[in-house]
C-alpha cells in the first residue's frame, strides 16, 4: 500500500471518482446479499437496512461524486499586510495510508462511509470490520476484494484486541478512524500517540433527552420511540434516558407505550422490523438492567432468540449501573424533573454525551438547553435523525470522541490542507531585511 500510494496513482480526480462509482455499483449489485447479512447479524429488514445503512452510504458517495472536483480545488484565502503583495492558498492533499475500524451495530455504513471519505480524499485504506457482525464483515470483505486491488483497499478480519495493535504497533498509518466504545477509543489514542498518528474517534455515551411541558407530546413520543428502539436500541445516537418535566411525564410514558405497540406489534419477537441483541454478553448485561427499575412497559426477553422487548423503566436509582454505563439496548429509563438543576445534575454524572435531544415549542428553552449542555450532535424536537444529514458533521466531544465526519467533513478528515503563501519577486521592501535599526515605527504600523 505504501509503495502504491507513493506512485501517486490514487491522487488524481479521475481515479478517485472511478473508485467511488465502482463502490456504488457494487453496493447496488450486492444489495440482496448485504441485506441477508444484516438480517443474520442483527435482524434488520430491507427497509431498515436501506434507511440506516445502504441508502446512507449511497447518499454519501453520491454527494462526494457531485462535489469532489470543488473540494479538491486549492482554496484561496486572505493575506495580511505584513506579507503584501503575496497570495495564500490551501492545497488539499491526501494523507496516505489510513486505517478505518468499524463497529457492529451499523456494520456496513460505519465502516464504508468513512471508507468512501478516505477514497474520495485519495488515500489507500485498510478496513477492520467488527468481528461481532461476522456475516456483514464477510460480505464487505468479498466486495472490497472483488472491486479493488489490495494495494488500494484491504479488509483485515479478526479480533480487534489482537489485529489492531498488531497493525498499529508495526506500521505507521497516516490516520486512524475508529468507531466504537470509549475504553477501546482510549487505547487507540495511546497507540496512535507513539507515532503521532492523527485520529478520529467516534465513541459513545449516555444521550439525554429532555421533554419540556410545552412540547408536542404526540410527536415527541413517536420520535423518541423510533430513536430509542430502532436496531433494538443498539444505536450510538439513541436517546439513552428521558428527562421529562414532572407535569407531563405520565402522559409521555403512556404515549411511548402506545407507540411501541403500534410500531412493533403486541409480540415484537415475531413481528417485522424489531432487531435482536448482537450477542449473549450484551444480552446478559441488558437483562441485568431490567431489575434496576420498575417495568412499566415490555420487560420480556428470550435468550435463544436474543430478544428483549422494548422496555420502559421508572423509579431507577441514579446510581444504578444502568445510569453509569451506556445502555445500548431497548431499555428506556424515564426520570421526571421539576427544576433545570435537577436535570442538569443527572446529565452531569455522564458528561459530554455524544448526542442530546430537547423537545419544546419554546425558542428560549431550546437555546438555553443547547447552550447549557456540552454534547457532540443533537436535535430539537427529534432524535437520532441528525446522523442522516450529511451537511452536519457527526462526532462527539470530550469523552464521546474526537473529530467529525459525513459529507464534506469526511473528505476533510482524510485530507491535509497544505497552507502555502506565494510571494511575487517584483516587490521586496528593505524594511523586511536587517539592519532593522530605526524601522520600529514602520514595523509597528504594518504589524498590529
Ligand atoms: P466493537 O466491539 O465492535 O469494537 C469496535 C471495533 O474495535 C471493532 O472493529 C473491534 O474489532 C475493535 N476492537 C475491539 N477491541 C479492541 C482493542 N482492544 N484494540 C483495538 N481494537 C479493538 O464495538 P463496541 O466497542 O462494543 O461498540 C459499541 C460502542 O460504539 C458504543 O459505545 C457506541 O455508542 C459506539 N458507537 C459509536 C458510534 C459513533 O459514530 N460515534 C457509532 C456506533 C457505535
Per-residue pLDDT of the chain (448 residues; tens, 9 = 90+): 999 999 999 999 999 999 999 999 999 999 999 999 999 999 999 999 999 999 999 999 999 999 999 999 999 999 999 999 999 999 999 999 999 999 999 999 999 999 999 999 999 999 999 999 999 999 999 999 999 999 999 999 999 999 999 999 999 999 999 999 999 999 999 999 999 999 999 999 999 999 999 999 999 999 999 999 999 999 999 999 999 999 999 999 999 999 999 999 988 887 788 999 999 999 999 999 999 999 999 999 999 999 999 999 999 998 999 999 999 999 999 999 999 999 999 999 999 999 999 999 999 999 999 999 999 999 999 999 999 999 999 999 999 999 999 999 999 999 999 999 999 999 999 999 999 999 999 999 999 9
Catalytic residue among 48, 202, 314, 326: 202
Cα of 439 vs centre of ligand 1, distance in Å, is 59
What's phi and psi for 407, nearest 5 deg? 55, -140
236 among known catalytic residues = yes
Q: Can you read off the three cell numbers belonging to residue 302? A: 428470550
User: What residues contact residue 164 under an 8 Å CB cut-off, 6+ apart?
Assistant: 99, 101, 128, 188, 191
Q: Can you read off the three cell numbers belonging to residue 413? A: 478528515
Rounded Cα–Cα distance for residues 57 and 50 (Å): 9
3-state secondary structure of 368: helix
* pLDDT at residue 378, as a whole number: 98
* pLDDT at residue 305, as a whole number: 94
What's the distance, Cα to Cα, between the start and end of the chain in Å? 48
Burial of 261 (C-beta count, 10 Å sphere; 0-12/13-18/19+): middle
Could you tell me where the DSSP H helices lie in 7-133? 13-29, 31-42, 46-49, 55-72, 109-120
Cα of 40 vs centre of ligand 1, distance in Å, is 19
* pLDDT at residue 369, as a whole number: 98
Structure confidence by residue, pLDDT tens digits, 165-182: 999 999 999 999 999 999
- Whether the predicted model's global pTM rises above the 0.75 cut: yes
Residue with the smallest CA separation from ligand 1 atom 39 is: 202
User: What residues contact residue 226 under an 8 Å CB cut-off, 6+ apart?
Assistant: 259, 263, 383, 384
Nearest to 103 by CA among 242, 278, 361: 278
202 among known catalytic residues = yes
Q: Can you read off the three cell numbers belonging to residue 117? A: 471519505
* pLDDT at residue 267, as a whole number: 83
Q: What angle do CA 439, 440, 446 make, to 5 degrees?
A: 95
Rounded Cα–Cα distance for residues 75 and 92 (Å): 8
User: What residues contact residue 412 under an 8 Å CB cut-off, 6+ apart?
Assistant: none
* pLDDT at residue 161, as a whole number: 97
Strands 199-202 and 401-402 come out as: antiparallel
Contact in structure between 290 and 299 (CB atoms under 8 Å): yes
Cα of 65 vs centre of ligand 1, distance in Å, is 29
Residue recorded with cell 470543488: 70
Nearest to 301 by CA among 325, 326, 323, 282: 282
Residues with CB under 6 Å of ligand 1 are 101-105, 110, 128, 130-132, 160-161, 164-165, 179-181, 184, 187, 202-204, 236, 326, 328, 354, 396, 401
Contact in structure between 87 and 74 (CB atoms under 8 Å): no
Q: Can you read off the three cell numbers belonging to residue 324? A: 453509569
User: What residues contact residue 342 under an 8 Å CB cut-off, 6+ apart?
Assistant: none
Pseudo-torsion of CA 135, 140, 142, 146, nearest 10°?
A: 170
Cα of 102 vs centre of ligand 1, distance in Å, is 7
Rounded Cα–Cα distance for residues 106 and 231 (Å): 9
* pLDDT at residue 271, as a whole number: 75
Residue with the smallest CA separation from ligand 1 atom 27 is: 180
Amino acid at each position: 500500500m505504501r509503495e502504491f500510494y507513493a506512485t501517486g496513482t490514487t491522487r488524481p480526480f479521475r481515479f478517485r471518482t472511478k473508485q467511488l462509482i465502482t463502490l456504488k455499483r457494487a453496493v447496488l449489485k450486492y444489495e440482496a446479499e448485504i441485506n441477508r447479512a444484516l438480517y443474520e447479524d442483527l435482524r434488520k429488514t430491507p427497509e431498515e437496512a436501506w434507511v440506516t445503512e445502504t441508502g446512507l452510504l449511497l447518499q454519501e458517495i453520491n454527494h462526494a461524486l457531485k462535489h469532489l472536483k470543488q473540494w479538491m480545488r486549492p482554496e484561496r484565502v486572505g493575506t495580511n499586510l505584513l506579507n503584501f503583495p503575496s497570495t495564500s492558498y490551501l492545497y488539499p492533499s491526501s494523507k496516505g495510508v489510513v486505517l478505518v475500524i468499524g463497529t457492529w451495530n451499523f456494520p456496513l455504513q460505519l465502516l464504508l462511509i468513512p471508507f468512501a471519505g478516505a477514497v474520495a480524499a485519495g488515500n489507500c485504506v485498510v478496513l477492520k470490520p467488527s468481528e461481532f457482525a461476522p456475516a456483514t464483515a464477510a460480505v464487505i470483505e468479498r466486495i472490497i476484494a472483488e472491486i479493488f486491488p489490495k494495494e488500494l483497499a484491504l479488509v483485515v478480519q479478526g479480533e480487534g484486541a489482537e489485529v489492531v495493535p498488531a497493525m498499529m504497533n508495526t506500521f505507521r498509518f497516516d490516520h486512524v478512524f475508529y468507531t466504537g466504545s470509549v475504553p477501546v477509543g482510549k487505547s487507540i489514542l495511546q497507540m496512535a500517540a507513539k507515532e503521532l498518528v492523527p485520529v478520529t474517534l467516534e465513541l459513545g455515551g449516555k444521550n439525554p433527552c429532555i421533554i419540556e411541558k410545552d412540547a408536542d407530546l404526540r410527536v415527541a413520543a413517536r420520535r423518541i420511540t423510533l430513536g430509542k428502539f430502532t436496531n433494538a436500541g443498539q444505536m450510538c445516537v439513541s436517546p439513552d434516558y428521558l428527562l421529562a418535566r414532572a407535569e407531563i411525564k405520565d402522559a409521555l410514558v403512556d404515549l411511548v407505550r402506545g407507540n411501541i405497540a403500534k410500531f412493533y406489534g403486541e409480540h415484537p419477537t415475531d413481528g417485522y422490523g424489531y432487531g435482536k441483541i448482537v450477542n449473549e454478553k450484551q444480552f446478559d448485561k441488558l437483562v441485568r438492567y431490567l431489575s434496576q427499575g420498575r417495568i412499566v412497559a415490555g420487560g420480556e426477553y428470550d435468550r435463544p432468540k436474543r430478544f428483549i422487548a422494548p422496555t420502559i423503566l421508572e423509579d431507577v436509582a441514579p446510581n444504578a449501573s444502568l445510569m453509569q454505563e451506556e445502555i445500548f439496548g431497548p431499555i428506556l429509563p424515564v426520570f421526571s424533573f421539576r427544576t433545570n438543576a435537577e436535570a442538569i445534575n443527572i446529565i452531569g454524572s455522564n458528561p459530554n454525551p455524544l448526542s442530546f435531544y430537547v423537545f419544546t415549542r419554546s425558542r428560549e428553552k431550546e437555546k438555553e438547553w443547547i447552550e447549557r449542555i456540552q454534547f457532540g450532535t443533537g436535535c430539537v424536537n427529534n432524535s437520532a435523525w441528525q446522523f442522516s444529514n450529511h451537511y452536519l458533521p457527526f462526532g462527539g466531544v470530550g469523552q464521546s470522541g474526537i473529530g467529525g465526519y459525513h459529507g464534506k467533513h469526511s473528505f476533510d478528515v482524510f485530507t491535509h490542507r497544505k497552507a502555502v503563501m506565494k510571494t511575487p519577486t517584483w516587490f521586496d521592501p528593505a524594511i523586511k531585511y536587517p539592519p532593522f535599526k530605526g524601522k520600529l515605527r514602520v514595523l509597528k504600523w504594518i504589524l498590529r
